[in-house]
Amino acid sequence: MAKKILHVVGARPNFMKIAPVMRAIADRTGSLEQMLVHTGQHYDASMSDVFFEELDIPEAGVNLGVGSGSHAQQTAQVMIRFEPVLQQYAPDWVMVPGDVNSTLACALVASKLGFRVAHLEAGLRSFDRSMPEEINRLLTDQLADLLLTPSSDADENLRREGIADCKIRMVGNVMIDTLVRLQPKARVRTAALRSQHSLEGPYVLATLHRPANVDNPRGLQEILGTLNELATTLAVVFPVHPRTRQQIAALSFTPRPGLRLTNPLGYLDFLALEMGAQLVVTDSGGVQEETTFLGVPCLTVRPNTERPVTITMGTNELVTSAQILEAARRKIDPSSAHPARIPPLWDGHASERIASLLEEGMR
């Protein structure tokens, strides 16, 4: 009898993680079957639908339609709506990726009902409990029966927290699986995107969405001012998260001609711009990983990162909003470049290793 895998996605970052795993499992016909549950945590078409299309993710068997709300409201609604779906499908494994509210909510329900939980991207730590994602990561890892890690530092974090070695498997980075597969499709979009955004020469790509950066008017004003200053020498493309756009409107901010504020981009368009950028300014965990693999200089506007391997091996550097301009000028100076390395098992085959673990009956 085929083992049943129930995947959970809720927010944009998780779509890139679950897509290659579902594809690898689909190739194991007869031994594994699967169903996808979309919690609806990201429900805007620009943040959800386009990713299903571009990543070729199968249509969700169930959409819980949770929508927005406070952390407590969102987590509670996911738990309430997920429980009957879980009981009806009765999977052998519940696969929860990442660190969003849906991740923890579904892991908690599954664990209490006695279903085995596999945490995809386990063991990452920022050591900053003021981040809601850190709480989600810590608790999900304590509940999980199988911890699928992207790098050796994640393994070390889990062992330090008392997780048994028999539960930990370093499989590599599934985000890179998606990047490797879709890189050729993204590359052919480059010329059209350059034309669309009037990018005749080198440019900077910026993406910011974390509350610490965009929900604080003074901090956001400082970041926008820095990007405006940077745009006097290099074009800056800034795809704006819907929540961030509301904050910018409240500031009555006027961008210089070199700063292009765009609507959110689909995965392929963003990857195409990322591949060609002189520099990326971000607060996204996934973008830190992608730029490391691509060898593109990256500035992360955060005091910490749960992906330190992107600093020790990759192109990433942590900065404050006040440090962006000086660090950007240094990063784009060819004389300051240093060779970046790709972490072990970031090879485009992590999802295949995961499917093998599930097929072989990991205990």
If asked whether residues 163 and 304 sit together in one domain, one would say no
In the chain, the number of structural domains is 2
Question: 208 and 329: one domain?
Answer: yes
d(CA 270, CA 83): 35
Q: Is residue 354 part of a domain?
A: yes
22/101 same-domain check = yes
Residue 194 lies in a domain: yes
Does one domain contain both 271 and 306?
yes
Q: How far apart are the first and last CA of the chain?
A: 17
Q: Does one domain contain both 139 and 201?
A: no
Q: What is the DSSP string of 323-358?
A: GHHHHHHHHT-GGG-----PPTT-SS-HHHHHHHHH
Boundaries of domain holding 198: 184-336
CA pair distance 86, 161, nearest whole angstrom: 28
> Based on the domain organization, do 45 and 190 belong to the same domain?
no
155, 31: one domain: yes
Residues 102 and 248 in one domain: no
Q: Which of 21, 117, 54, 43 is nearest to 267 (CA)?
A: 54
Mean pLDDT per 10-residue segment, the chain (363 residues): 93 89 91 93 59 84 88 95 97 96 97 98 96 96 98 98 98 97 97 96 94 89 95 96 86 93 94 97 96 97 97 96 94 81 97 94 59
CB neighbours (10 Å) of residue 72?
Answer: 9
Residue 341 lies in a domain: no
Say yes or no: 220 and 166 in one domain.
no
Q: Please indicate whether residue 209 is annotated as part of the active site.
A: yes
Can you give the pTM of this predicted structure?
Answer: 0.93
The answer on 168 and 317 residing in a single domain is: no
Is 179 within the bounds of a domain? no
Return the CATH number at 215. Answer: 3.40.50.2000
At 317-329, the pLDDT tens digits run: 999 999 999 999 9
DSSP, res 254: -
Query: Same structural domain for residues 36 and 140?
Result: yes
Same domain, 41 and 96: yes
Per the residue annotation, which of 209, 241, 338, 349 is the catalytic one? 209
